[in-house]
Every structure is written in structure tokens, then in C-alpha cells.
């Protein structure tokens, strides 16, 4: 059976740099407050009406395709991971296909909605397709535009200061070289605490899930009509319910528990140890989380790559962006063992081991 290797990799971030100082114009915060809690100094935001997750993805994909030594028409399947799609539907996969001009082959396109762990989930799906022989050149992308959906006020600062825009892409191909490529992927989820990190409204739940929330929120739905609730209510707008919410402390505690667990699970199956890892690429959720996980795993600084300081949390895009940067810097070389791991909304989490 063939393995799955990364044949090409690329990333693209918007030109606009937004510093912590700039955010102080819109909310009651400081550079020191943001850095202390997240490690972030700046992030990138798209140009309105000019850039979207699909256009960022197209830029990253073009680089990955060129580095893989193939053409766009060689791509036989697309997997697109995002939590911030261009449209509610259709998904971004077909929009990326259109942006790249991959129309003659009419290849399939799959959208992954696993938020922060979307790239890991997409990698696992692609790995199965490659190993089965179904596809030969899979384009896997993680792309996000958070800046269009954040609450840029003091009310929303705990979430809004964290996120940034960007895209990363890889081209995956089969390999017959023993021990090369994706060694394994481990995927997990637990929906018990789904609302601890979520964008709940607008949605089609009409308050149904309130039974899972200790302090239920009134979304202003009209329950006295057979036609169901209104998709967006005035109360949602007035109370800022259309923005992401996060219980930061709860998420932090879960992340530092699940990150090491899933990495150890992947290592155990592969018959490897933490000391065998040459480069660890964590999802860039929060620098403090990455640093805590690094200490728990007892990894030296030179074996972990963090770039949240300059890009913020780009969720599904964060792992491919960081992996590409590390590779471009010469920190990921042929034969290296690379560990990827992510934890986020859902909660969903996962890990992957790759022999470069």
C-alpha cells in the first residue's frame, strides 16, 4: 500500500498588518494586556471586497502546486477546511476550484467544518483517499477570514484580539518510499461543551440547544408561530449574539490536557517517543497554550514552531502556515519526524505524524 507525502506546500497572508496598538482604537485594551494573555503582537486582515477565504486559498494553493511540480489540471480532488466560508453555501471548495480555473477535469471538492482541527481532519481524509488509490494529487487547504466576523468593541475583546486571516495549502501524493509520509492520524471529539467556544447565532436551532447551557440565552425568537424562529433577530444584533463566544479559561484547560494526550497516542501507535520528534507544529491557538504543552512534553525550543506572535490564530490555516514557514526556514528536512496537533471548537482535536 502506498503512503501519503506532502509534495508541495505554500501559504499566503494578507498584506495589511494590524498591531495590538491599532486595536486600542476600537476597544479598551493594551498591547501589554494582549501579549501577556496570548503572546500575539500583530495579525493580518484582508482588504474588504477584495479578499476572501477562497482567494487567499488560491494564492497559497498556487504556490503548493508549483512546488509539487504539477499543474492545476493534475489536481484530482480538493479538500477545503474553514470555519469562515465565503458563503453559508455553497462551500469554499468549489469557489477555490473556480479561482484556480480547475474546470476541465471537474474534480470533486469537499468542505471540512472542524474549525481549529480542520486541517488535521482534512489530512486524515486525504490520507485514506491516497492510500486507497482513489486519488493521486489532492489539494488540501486551510483558509480563514476572521476579521469580517469579530466584535471590535470592549465587549468582544477577549475573542477579537486573538484571530487573524490567512491560508495554507499542501499537495498530497502517494509515495512508495518505506517509512515516508503520513505515519498516522488520530482524531477525537466531545460535544459535551460545544457552546464553550462557538458562534451560535444566526443559526437554525431556534433555542433548541439552550437545554445544554446552564444560563440559557434568549435569542429573541418568536415561538408563537408555526413558521419557526426568525434567522436574525433584533436582540441578536443588540446583544452581540452574532459574534463568537469563548470561555477562555475552560478552553485553555481542555487544550493543555488534550494536546499531549493525542500526541502521545500517535507516538505510541508508531512505536516512537517524544524525543524522536524533530519538529512540533501546534495549532496556533494561544502562545501560552503552546508553551505549556511544550513544557509538558519536555520539548526544547528548537523543536517547536510558533508564529502566532505575528499572525494571530488563523484556526484551520494555522498548521499549514506554520509548517510552510518552518520548512522554508530549513527547520523541516528530509527524514525529519514532524508532529502536528490541534484543538478547538466542538470540541474536536487531533494529531498527525509525518516522516518528511
| pTM of the shown model | 0.95
Question: What is the dotted CATH code of the domain comprising 3-175?
Answer: 3.40.47.10
Give SS3 for 111: strand
Where are the strands (E) in 207-310, listed by range? 245-246, 279-282
Place of cell 502521545: 264
Share of the chain above pLDDT 70, in %: 93
CB 320 within 8 A of CB 170: yes
pLDDT of residue 6: 98
Model pLDDT for residues 125-137, shown as the tens digit of each residue: 999 999 999 999 9
Sheet holding 279-282, edge to edge: 181-189, 348-355, 337-344, 279-282
Q: Region of 338 please: left (phi>0), alpha (psi -120 to 50) or beta.
A: beta
pLDDT of residue 206 exceeding 80:
no
Q: Region of 198 please: left (phi>0), alpha (psi -120 to 50) or beta.
A: beta
Taken as a whole, the chain contains a residue count of 356
pLDDT of residue 226 exceeding 90:
no
User: Which residue ranges make up each domain of the chain?
Assistant: 3-175
Q: Which residue has the higher pLDDT, 179 or 217?
A: 179
Question: Mean pLDDT, to the nearest integer, of 106-110?
Answer: 97
Task: Give the residue numbers annotated as catalytic, written as ranges.
Answer: 116, 283, 313
Question: Mean pLDDT, to the nearest integer, of 206-227?
Answer: 65
Q: Are strands 279-282 and 245-246 parallel, antiparallel or unpaired?
A: unpaired
DSSP, res 215: S
CB 240 within 8 A of CB 255: no
pLDDT of residue 215: 64
Q: What are the distances in angstroms from CA 109 to CA 91, 97, 184?
A: 9, 8, 23
Give the model's confidence band at 147: pLDDT under 50 very low, under 70 low, under 90 confident, else very high. very high
**All 3 cell numbers of residue 164?**
487573524
Model pLDDT for residues 7-44, shown as the tens digit of each residue: 999 999 999 999 999 999 999 999 999 999 999 999 99
H or E segment at 179?
A: none
Question: Mean pLDDT, to the nearest integer, of 237-245?
Answer: 81
For residue 61, give every residue at least 6 positions away whose Cβ sits within 8 Å of its Cβ, in sequence order, or none: 10, 96, 100, 139, 141, 169
Query: How far apart are the two ends of the chain, measured CA to CA in Å?
Result: 18
Amino acid at each position: 500500500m502506498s503512503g501519503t507525502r506532502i509534495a508541495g506546500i505554500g501559504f499566503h497572508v494578507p498584506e495589511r498588518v494590524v498591531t495590538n496598538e491599532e486595536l486600542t482604537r476600537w476597544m479598551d485594551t493594551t498591547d501589554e494586556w494582549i501579549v501577556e494573555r496570548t503572546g500575539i503582537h500583530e495579525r493580518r486582515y484582508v482588504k474588504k471586497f477584495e479578499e476572501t477565504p477562497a482567494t487567499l486559498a488560491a494564492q497559497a494553493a498556487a504556490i503548493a502546486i508549483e512546488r509539487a511540480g504539477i499543474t492545476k489540471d493534475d489536481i484530482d480532488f480538493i479538500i477545503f477546511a474553514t470555519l469562515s466560508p465565503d458563503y453559508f453555501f455553497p462551500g469554499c471548495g468549489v469557489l477555490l476550484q473556480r479561482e484556480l480555473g480547475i474546470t476541465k477535469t471537474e474534480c470533486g471538492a469537499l468542505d471540512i467544518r472542524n474549525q481549529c482541527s480542520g486541517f488535521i481532519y482534512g489530512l486524515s481524509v486525504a490520507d485514506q483517499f491516497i492510500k486507497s488509490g482513489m486519488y493521486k494529487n489532492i489539494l488540501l487547504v486551510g483558509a480563514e477570514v476572521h476579521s469580517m466576523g469579530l466584535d471590535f468593541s470592549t465587549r468582544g475583546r477577549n475573542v477579537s484580539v486573538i484571530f487573524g486571516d490567512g491560508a495554507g495549502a499542501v499537495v498530497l501524493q502517494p509515495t512508495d518510499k518505506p517509512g515516508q509520509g503520513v505515519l498516522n492520524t488520530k482524531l477525537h471529539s466531545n460535544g459535551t461543551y460545544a457552546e464553550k467556544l462557538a458562534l451560535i447565532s444566526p443559526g437554525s436551532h431556534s433555542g433548541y440547544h439552550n437545554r445544554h447551557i446552564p444560563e440559557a440565552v434568549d435569542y429573541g425568537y418568536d415561538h408563537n408561530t408555526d413558521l419557526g424562529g426568525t434567522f436574525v433577530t433584533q436582540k441578536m444584533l443588540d446583544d452581540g449574539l452574532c459574534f463568537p463566544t469563548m470561555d477562555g479559561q475552560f478552553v485553555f484547560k481542555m487544550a493543555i490536557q488534550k494536546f499531549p494526550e493525542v500526541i502521545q497516542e500517535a507516538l505510541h501507535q508508531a512505536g516512537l517517543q517524544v524525543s524522536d520528534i524533530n519538529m512540533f507544529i501546534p495549532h496556533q491557538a494561544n502562545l501560552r497554550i503552546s508553551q505549556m504543552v511544550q513544557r509538558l512534553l519536555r520539548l526544547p525550543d528548537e523543536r517547536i514552531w510558533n508564529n502566532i506572535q505575528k499572525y494571530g490564530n488563523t484556526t484551520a490555516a494555522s498548521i499549514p502556515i506554520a509548517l510552510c514557514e518552518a520548512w522554508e526556514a530549513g527547520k523541516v528536512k528530509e527524514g525529519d519526524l514532524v508532529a502536528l496537533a490541534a484543538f478547538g471548537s466542538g470540541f474536536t482535536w487531533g494529531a498527525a505524524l509525518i516522516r518528511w
